[in-house]
A and B are shown apart, each in its own frame.
Chain A
Amino acid sequence: MSGATYNGSTAERRDPGFFRRMWAMVIKEFVQMRRDRMTFATMIFVPILQLTLFGYAINTDPKQLPTAVLTRDEGPLTRAVLAAMKNTDYFKFTEQVHDADELDRLIRSGKVQFAVEIPASFERDVRRGDRPSVLVIADATDPVATGTAVSSLQGLIDTALRRELRGPDAPVTKTTAPFQITLQNRYNPEAITQYNIVPGLLGVVLTMTMMMFTALAVTREIERGTMESLLAMPIKPVEIMIGKIAPFVLVGFVQMTIILCAAHFLFNVPIMGSVWLLVSLATLFAASNLAVGYTFSTIAQNQLQAVQLTFFFFLPNILLSGFMFPFRGMPAWAQVVGEALPLTHFMRIVRGITLKGTGLADMQIDVAALFIFMIVAMGLALVRFRRTLD
């Protein structure tokens, strides 16, 4: 070095001080933030999207709940009772059935939230003052979903009969109602919140952990520089994918065993259906989440983005799947979004098996949905996976 241009003097350099050094850091952080386009976009766009999405979608007072009817008596009084139920806006008659078995099946499969049975010779019995019973069966797996609808039944008798039972043969006394409503809360008769939440947690925990594991799978290789070697080796993308997913299926299996044991022994959640069916479907669910995570991994450019994607997918899964808020309380468009999330289907499966004892036959759609989800995610991941460094 020539002495003329470089004298190495440190005395000339002033200590820039706390604020300047801190400011240097602030500028650097902002520049880096701006450079990562995806992160920048998610900071502004995603909060707005999610706020509007969830703000409009979530509703804890679900109305228009699907209800099946079995009428053994076709009289004006029957029509009046049904009309009154309909007028509460909580019940929407979607199925007309002809025997009690079908009614049971509909409610067990989750197709309807309520089932109403009007007994034979209902009208005659009312007029005779025999006080017959109208049976209302509620699927109480989720106590929040049925709560307000059930309480609306209280005033129903009065409204229903005010018009119909006027006239000379009115048997109505001022003190007793002309018929009664027998409410049968099925599957979770004591409306214990844990029975609903704890099995649901199985799905939530699996979603979060499984997705996170594989979301980092590809980006980590890229960030650590091992991807270049890996791509130069004679190994195919599908082999890499399955090789990365398979170990975590086992992890998911262990995880679900722990949660199921805890659910059963600590929270006394009943397991009415087949444990094996539950375990195999939970494994399928874990695999489909792993596939989603892997897909994110092929989209994200670094590990941070992969984690962000996971979170943005996780939130709607929690809020729109029926885990926290009743699925049927959401507007139609939100239900469509919900149907596209794997957790929604697993929520039905896990609650069905634990609380209702549902079998595979009643859950075909949900099982198929999980399968489709997994296949689509894997397909997408394979398309997205770059075999070269181009």
Chain B
Amino acid sequence: MTDAATKEIAIDVTGLTKTFGARTVVHDLSLQVPKGEIYGFLGPNGSGKTTTLRMLCGLLTPDAGQGTCLGYDIRTDADEIKRNVGYMTQRFSLYADLSIRENLEFVARVYGVPNPRQAAREAIGRLGLSTRAEQLAGDLSGGWKQRLALGACILPQPRLLLLDEPTAGVDPKARREFWDEIHNLAADGITVLVSTHYMDEAERCHEIAYIAFGELLAKGTAREVVAKSGLTTWIVSGKDLHHLATKLEACDGVDMVAPFGTELHVSGRDRHTLDSAIAAAKKADGAHRWARGEPTLEDVFILLMDKSKDNFA
């Protein structure tokens, strides 16, 4: 990464707030995304990721806050933003009763792409769907639907992509291919803001931001976020981990216990108290193997989530 300050900024918003009725869905959110970067947007369900993306592309009007998207004001230049931003919705939103070709031609025409038929044909070729161009979009499998939706998004050659959980419910291979494509796009200078629940995907992003209950809790590279969390983790392996987990959860200094297959991740924010809790547990129980480990991004996020207050409660 070169110095962020010299980079061109694609998204620059401050203080974004959105309320639905009495519920504040996004609270005072600020975000700077450099051009050509893949920026991961993480957070639990209902944390305000979709709402933020919608505010960025002009689908929702923020109640407070301001900023720019590709240099256009998000409050006043919605038309310009729409012309230059590709927004991929969480739910499949192409026309199920149109064929792949017809869907892409429609998109090309709406965006005023010259020679829409040819543009659609080329996009179909890039997607590897040439033999199925006349198939109805609704009949595609989940993975192909997502690829088609991405294809439709990039057809008008946007400068910014907003992808809302693009790989939800997609198999690992299709997911991998999808991410390869995103990296290719970023290499071409397109900025990508992508929301996801998958930690492996988060690690594929240049930078991430974690948002829970409408508030931004952490941002930076994956490594930075883990380092900044100040979390210490022990990994326990052995038999009957379930009972051990229940016991450990009650200990002082243990903030989180999470099973990972045949291992247990025990984490705490305060290194000192965690270490003494572990030492005590070790003494009482000789049947398990104890080792110091690296906290994962997931550990960090779950901790962040537990820490933040739940405004739905």
Chain A contact residues, CB within 8 Å of chain B: 2, 224-235, 387-390
Q: Given contacts A233-B82, A233-B107, A235-B110, is CB(A228)–CB(B96) below 8 Å?
A: no
Contact of A226 among B78, B79, B83, B93 (CB under 8 A): B93
Taking a contact as CB atoms under 8 Å apart, the answer to whether A226 and B95 are in contact is: yes
Complex Cα distance, B92 from A227, in Å, reads: 11
Pairs of residues from A and B, 6 with the lowest C-beta to C-beta distance, nearest first: A229-B93, A232-B87, A234-B82, A234-B83, A225-B91, A228-B89
B227 within 8 Å of A by Cβ? Answer: no
| 11 A-B residue pairs with CB within 8 Å | A224-B93, A224-B96, A225-B91, A229-B87, A230-B93, A232-B87, A233-B110, A233-B111, A234-B83, A234-B111, A235-B110
Query: Smallest CB-CB separation from B83: which chain A residue?
Result: A234
What is the predominant secondary structure among interface residues of chain B facing chain A?
loop
Taking a contact as CB atoms under 8 Å apart, the answer to whether A226 and B110 are in contact is: no
B157 within 8 Å of A by Cβ? Answer: no
Taking a contact as CB atoms under 8 Å apart, the answer to whether A388 and B110 are in contact is: no
Complex Cα distance, B106 from A230, in Å, reads: 11
Binds A, one of B54-62, B115-123, B259-267, B290-298: B54-62
Query: Smallest CB-CB separation from A233: which chain B residue?
Result: B110
Taking a contact as CB atoms under 8 Å apart, the answer to whether B60 and A390 are in contact is: yes
Taking a contact as CB atoms under 8 Å apart, the answer to whether A228 and B111 are in contact is: no
A-contact bits for B39-59, CB 8 A (1 contact / 0 none)? 000000000000000100111
Complex Cα distance, B121 from A36, in Å, reads: 44
Taking a contact as CB atoms under 8 Å apart, the answer to whether B60 and A388 are in contact is: yes
- Nearest CB in chain A: distance from B277 CB, A: 25
Taking a contact as CB atoms under 8 Å apart, the answer to whether A225 and B92 are in contact is: yes
- In B244-286, the 8 Å CB interface with A consists of none
- Nearest CB in chain A: distance from B178 CB, A: 18
Contacts of B192 in A (CB 8 A): none
- Nearest CB in chain B: distance from A387 CB, A: 8
A-contact bits for B80-103, CB 8 A (1 contact / 0 none)? 001101010101111110000000
Contacts of A227 in B (CB 8 A): 93
B242 within 8 Å of A by Cβ? Answer: yes
Contact of A389 among B54, B82, B112 (CB under 8 A): B54
- Nearest CB in chain A: distance from B197 CB, A: 20
Taking a contact as CB atoms under 8 Å apart, the answer to whether B59 and A232 are in contact is: yes
Contact of B94 among A229, A231, A232 (CB under 8 A): A229
Complex Cα distance, B18 from A390, in Å, reads: 10
Complex Cα distance, B170 from A29, in Å, reads: 34
Complex Cα distance, B57 from A345, in Å, reads: 45
Query: Smallest CB-CB separation from A236: which chain B residue?
Result: B79
Contact of A388 among B59, B91, B94 (CB under 8 A): B59
- Nearest CB in chain A: distance from B146 CB, A: 14
Contacts of B82 in A (CB 8 A): 232-234
Taking a contact as CB atoms under 8 Å apart, the answer to whether B242 and A2 are in contact is: yes
Query: Smallest CB-CB separation from A243: which chain B residue?
Result: B110
Complex Cα distance, B59 from A387, in Å, reads: 7
Contact of B60 among A230, A233, A234, A389 (CB under 8 A): A389
Complex Cα distance, B60 from A231, in Å, reads: 10
- Nearest CB in chain A: distance from B94 CB, A: 7
Complex Cα distance, B89 from A103, in Å, reads: 67
Complex Cα distance, B112 from A229, in Å, reads: 16
- Nearest CB in chain B: distance from A65 CB, A: 53
Q: Given contacts A2-B242, A224-B96, is CB(A232)–CB(B57) below 8 Å?
A: yes
Contacts of B95 in A (CB 8 A): 224, 226
- In B105-154, the 8 Å CB interface with A consists of 107, 110-112
- Nearest CB in chain B: distance from A172 CB, A: 80
Known: A228-B89, A231-B59, A232-B87. 14 other contacts (CB 8 A): A224-B93, A224-B96, A229-B87, A229-B89, A229-B94, A232-B58, A232-B59, A232-B82, A232-B85, A234-B110, A234-B111, A387-B78, A389-B54, A389-B59
